[in-house]
Amino acid sequence: MGKTLIYSCEFMDNGSIAVIGDNQAFMVKSNYSDIDRYSYDGLTLTAFSYDRAQGGVISLSPSSDGGNCHIVYLNKNGSLDKITDTQYRISSIDIYGGKIAALCDGGITAFYTTSGDEAGTADSGIDAQSISMYGENSVYVLGISEIREASAG
């Protein structure tokens, strides 16, 4: 596969290590010898996040403008699965308690389950820069001049 530039890594609560790189993501199991890899296959990484109890989540785009992102869930036990395709450009993503929130173009936050089912949307505001989940259907939104809340449903 060639070399991978590591952007970030995080220990999971079961001793595994989630690693996000420029061309692949992988989960190093707690025995430190078994590694499950997920190649991006030429897709562009647009956002990623971790939850020590769940694993990690990444968004990958097939286009250079970052649109039509795929969401990939990296289970802390090593299961690396593409869970859904979107029509969105995703600039920020987070995972919390079995749900994933993705900040999409147009100021929309889309919520998904870790199995890929849509779980609602929320208006995050056109100035939204980043999100952080604090509940399964709620996010803090970092806007240009404030931090605010948004919830689905």
Q: What is the pLDDT of residue 77?
A: 84
Q: What is the pLDDT of residues 26-69, one digit of tens each?
A: 999 999 889 988 999 999 999 999 999 989 999 999 998 889 99
Indicate the average pLDDT of the chain: 92
Q: Measured between alpha carbons, how far is 111 from 131 in angstroms, rounded to an integer? A: 12
Q: What is the pLDDT of residue 1?
A: 55
The secondary element (H helix, E strand) that includes residue 26 is strand 24-28
**Any idea what DSSP says for residue 43?**
P
Strands 108-113 and 118-123: antiparallel
Question: What is the dihedral sign for C-alpha 148, 72, 45, 85?
Answer: negative
Say if residues 32 and 10 touch (Cβ distance below 8 Å). no
For residue 81, pLDDT beyond 90: no
Q: What is the pLDDT of residue 64?
A: 85
Amino acid sitting at position 124: S
For residue 79, pLDDT beyond 90: no
Q: What is the pLDDT of residues 19-32, one digit of tens each?
A: 999 999 999 999 98
Q: Which residues contact 121 (CB under 8 A, 6 or more apart)?
A: 108, 109, 110, 111, 152
Q: Which residue is it, tokens 């948004």?
A: 150
Other CB atoms within 10 Å distance of the CB of residue 129? 13
Say if residues 55 and 74 touch (Cβ distance below 8 Å). yes
| Rg of the chain (C-alpha set) | 15
Strands 108-113 and 99-104: antiparallel
Lowest mean pLDDT among 47-51, 79-83, 97-101, 129-133: 79-83
For residue 105, pLDDT beyond 60: yes
Say if residues 56 and 95 touch (Cβ distance below 8 Å). yes
Q: What is the pLDDT of residue 44?
A: 95
